Structure 1
Amino acid sequence: MAGKRTVLTAGLRRLSVLLNDMREQAGLSKEDVSGKTGINITTLYRIETAQARPQRRTLTAMLDLYGVTDQQRTDALELLSDALKPGMSRPYEASLTDVYAAYINFESEALSARHYQTSHIPGLLQTEQYAIAVIDTSMPKLEAAALERRARARLDRAAVLTKTDPLELWVVLDEAAIRRMVGGPEVMNGQLMRLLEEIKKKNVILQILPFEAGAHPGMAGAFTLLDFPNPADPELVYVEGIAGDELIEGHTEIRRFGVIFDQLRAMALSPRDSVALINDAAAHMR
């Protein structure tokens, strides 16, 4: 029987980084740890890359070997407790890829998101009818129950925009997304009206990148930059693609996507002018 699926969360990522740092500070290789504790070296690798949650006894054995302070031990055990809590994606994980499920978890804990989208309205701003039409078209062989679960996951994500400390969302949206007819005129008009309501929120900024802007650095595809309130959680980039989605870490890559986003928002219409363009698109949908 296959092992229990582990979907990445911020708590699990933080714990993996801490354990890697502790091992290195103790001057031990993974082989040393495996030889002294009996923990399989593959298991150690998976723990330190956040692909697996350590059992409490495994974590205790590692902490004992590393000779950590009482405070470090407490911190590690608290992170394990956090990592064991179900993420935002838990109810829908059977219908989601590991990367997308992890992204939902990270998004729910993020401080801000800078999102560029090329072809459709971003998931956080979609209506149910629009979400179903997008998913049904892009995944035509998906069973009805799975389609419904994916659509529900997409809609439930929007709670991050209205929670006590809401996500700060900045979207640059290609004009094609508001011009393309998805689900028919009624569905598309309803989606554009929803978009106009969502961008009234103080924590949501939207700019349309018009066709007249010509070639631009976002033509390779959609992406989202997430940053977090906890300094221990480094920024992430989520990249969408036909071949599969990807979560990217690393200062160089984060900086590259940050520069691209800055260029896109400089080329896009102002939020006020973007509202006018959305209203124009809506008028043509009626």
Structure 2
Amino acid sequence: MSRGPSPTVRRRRLAARLRELRENANLTIDEVGDKLECSASKISRIETGHVGVTPRDVRDMLEVYGVDGAERESLVQLAREARKKGWWHAFNEAFTGAFVGLEADASFLHTHQALLVPGLLQTEAYTRAIIRAIRPDIGEADVELRVRARMSRQKLLIDDPNPPEYWAVLDEAVVQRVVGGPEVMRDQLKRLLHVASLPHVTLQVVPFSTGAHAGMEAPFLILGFPEQADPDVVYVEYSTSGVYLEQPADVHRYSMIFDHLRAAALKPDDTVELLDRAADRLS
């Protein structure tokens, strides 16, 4: 898995720039649709990054916006890059939405989980146990597909020569719940101890003694990107879906929540001691 430019991030950047250029031209989505003889909903989906856009469509839109020269060629090339397929397309049935494509190009990942070990840190056996519990309706082949997909994601954090800075704050319930039986859970805790030793990974646990805390509403992930043209985004996870938040006010709110969680959690060294004790209890 390469850490080259993510097509998903490129599509997001292109969508934002096309929206900005339309607004600079004082045109509505409906007016652009009329000029290009297409539906306004197509323009809207392009501007939100929900659908891909062909280089030809980009040329047509830029002509309407009065954009030419170097920027026009740059954006057309961006459209070509955005249409390339990432490694995750081999697991389309397991991955939905833009999540993995955004994750693949992130420079930092800050996450909070109250119930589960984050996917990037799970062992294969833990992943299999979780999927079977959460999705009792799917067959064994689908379970194994999702396990392979999650293991492929982990190359980003473990094998990549330039991995993102990863910071996870977990509720103590994640550590104390025995998933898949004592042996599976012990191996999972040992895995957490291993990744906690990596220089680009920080783990903290919010102990039960903290009581109510800022992260109890829903798990979330803050993704930051290396280029200024790609603003941070928050992914808030629900039981059957997830929501992407890109407005600066929303990103700031979740960044503040994450800061509160880090302050309430055990220090990284104390977290390692807690994980070690929990693994010993399962021996």
1:119 has 2:115 as partner: yes
2:102 aligned to which of 106, 129, 137: 106
Distance across 2 between alignment mates of 1:116 and 1:148: 26
CA pair 261-88 structure 1, distance change in 2 beyond 3 A: farther
Instruction: Show the counterpart of 1:264.
Output: 261
Equivalent residue for 2:86?
Answer: 87
**TM superposition score normalised by structure 2:** 0.93
Q: Could you tell me which residue of structure 2 aligns to residue 240 of structure 1?
A: 237
Deviation (angstroms), 1:40: 2.4
Percent identity at matched positions? 39
Q: Does 1:231 align with 2:254?
A: no
Structure 1 contact 39–58 (Cα < 8 Å) conserved: no
Alpha-carbon offset, residue 87 of structure 1: 2.7
Stretches of structure 1 lacking an aligned partner (at least 5 in a row): 1-7
* 2:175 corresponds to: 178
Q: Is 1:202 paired with 2:220? A: no
* TM-score, normalisation: structure 1: 0.92
Structure 2 SS opposite 1:254: helix
Cα-to-partner distance string for 1:162-191 (whole Å, 9 max, x where unaligned): 312211000111111111110111111111
Distance 1:227 1:68 in 2: 29
CA contact (8 A) 1:120 1:177 kept: yes
Taking the aligned partners of 2:238 and 2:208, their CA distance within structure 1 comes to 22
Choose which of 115, 135, 138 in structure 2 pairs with 1:139. 135
Look up the equivalent residue of 1:129 and give its one-letter code: A
* Higher mean C-alpha deviation, range 265-274 or range 26-35: 26-35
In the alignment, residue 157 of structure 1 is paired with which amino acid?
Answer: R
Take 2:74 and 2:81, find their aligned partners in 1: how far apart are those partners?
11
Deviation at 1:194, TM superposition (A): 1.1
User: Distance in 2 between the 1:50 and 1:26 partners?
Assistant: 20
Cα distance, 1:95 vs structure 2: 2.8
Letter in 1 for 2:38: I
Q: Give the root-mean-square deviation of aligned CA atoms.
A: 1.4
Counterpart CA distance in 2 for 1:221 and 1:276 is 26
Does 1:128 find its partner at 2:124? yes
Cα shift at 1:134 = 0.7
Gaps of 5+ in 2: 1-6
Letter in 2 for 1:41: A
Q: Is the 8 A contact 1:236 1:249 kept in 2?
A: yes
The aligned counterpart of 1:191 is 188
Following superposition, the deviation at residue 88 of structure 1 comes to 4.1
Q: Secondary structure at the match of 1:246?
A: strand
Q: SS where residue 216 of structure 1 aligns?
A: coil
Number of corresponding residues? 276
| Residue 32 of structure 1, CA deviation | 2.4
Question: Matches of 2:261 and 2:179 in 1, distance apart?
Answer: 24
